[in-house]
Structure 1
């Protein structure tokens, strides 16, 4: 286990022990320095680590203010000439964890006006916020070809599933289910944009592409189940975890 992993685990243990200041100190270090030590932690940094930070904030309000301060700092850096896709990803992930999607929307609208090329690169990350605040016309402008977007998303799922099959790695079933869950979430966002704008033909095309772009019947079945019964994928992940406990 790397030092960064150890510090994240130490933050979790400190929170559980009621040592909130120590936990916050470790969360701050992990967010600011983990990738310097281990770039493979990029996904963990913006998912599990932020989730744990929010758990801490529920018990220790200073932790929430600290996370908001990091968000505000990075948003200002973007607008002051330090604009990068990675920095926007950080800000949007923090806003999502905080439940403050409007902050992502407001930052994106500034990019749309001031830095349109960067806005184009960040549009996929901003889509959940655009849907959350119901600015469907703006979201539509950045979805000129919804079928192509869905096909690109499906390629990631297909590639991951094929890689697992080649390696015979059945222990990674939860990871594949996570891919399925994220895929269905993103497809739903895209479909919602066109549904709310009354573009029924695009809704039909996007919905069909969501299944037709997946190569295996097993993937199509898993995605269809999640569409029909939202939450079924998470239930499958929990069941798999219990079976391996």
Structure 2
């Protein structure tokens, strides 16, 4: 027999079913329950909370203004809580909500202001917005967070290898999981190389190129060689 859903999982299913039945008030109630309490039941639901839950909630808000208003309130509250407590998960909530309500640019601007006014606080969560900083070419800010460039590389590789171990242990994760994990690893390495090159750290960028290309060989990673401005592909 299939395993029955947990209470938190049932909240999410109830929300989705309520949307299908065109019962937006009940759907909002269930999305709120999941967002507020799912982690109390199972911390492993963190990714679901910031993806499927927020995605469904944001879609609901497009046609049901109270849901949109509530989501915007939670966005502001998450930022206020982070500024007051320094708890990284609150900033993670803020970024995720901004992404789902199409305010990622505003979130980047907010981080840049925090970087100037509260540098230690910004440093504690910069990894959560690192990709966006690189894509926006905020090189001066990126430079502040490159002293641990080797650690960034090692973390990206560890996350990828860990994902592959999960895929081997649980084949039902599917090819999409493997493809996404591979793309994330490639993006992380390319962003790191780009940030190093644009902040005058060419030798360090070359080092990362070399390490990443060796990892491709050692771990048989299905990627082409990484290249740097000062290094030819091997």
Structure 2: runs of 5 or more not aligned? 227-234
Alpha-carbon distance, 1:132 to partner = 4.7
Alpha-carbon distance, 1:30 to partner = 1.1
1:172 is matched with 173
2:188 is matched with 186
Tell me the matched-pair count: 220
What are the Cα deviations for residues 168-203 of structure 1, in whole angstroms up to 9, with x where unaligned?
x32223433332232233334334434555765555
Structure number with bigger Rg: 2
Structure 1: runs of 5 or more not aligned? 228-245
Question: Under a length normalisation based on structure 1, what TM-score does the superposition of the two structures give?
Answer: 0.76
Helix, strand or coil: the match of 1:99? coil
**Partner Cα separation in structure 2 for residue 160 and residue 209 of structure 1:** 19
Alignment of 1:55 onto 2:56? no
Structure number with greater CO (CA < 8 Å, separation at least 6) is 1
Helix, strand or coil: the match of 1:50? helix
User: What value does the CA root-mean-square deviation take over the aligned residues?
Assistant: 2.7
1:239 is matched with none
Where does structure 1 differ by over 6 angstroms across 4 or more consecutive aligned residues? none
Question: Under a length normalisation based on structure 2, what TM-score does the superposition of the two structures give?
Answer: 0.79
2:161 is matched with 158
Verify the 8 A CA contact 2:61 2:68 in the aligned structure 1. yes
Verify the 8 A CA contact 1:147 1:209 in the aligned structure 2. no
**Partner Cα separation in structure 2 for residue 66 and residue 189 of structure 1:** 34
Verify the 8 A CA contact 1:160 1:176 in the aligned structure 2. yes
After superposition, where does 1:46-125 map in structure 2 within 5 Å? 46-79=50-83, 81-125=84-128
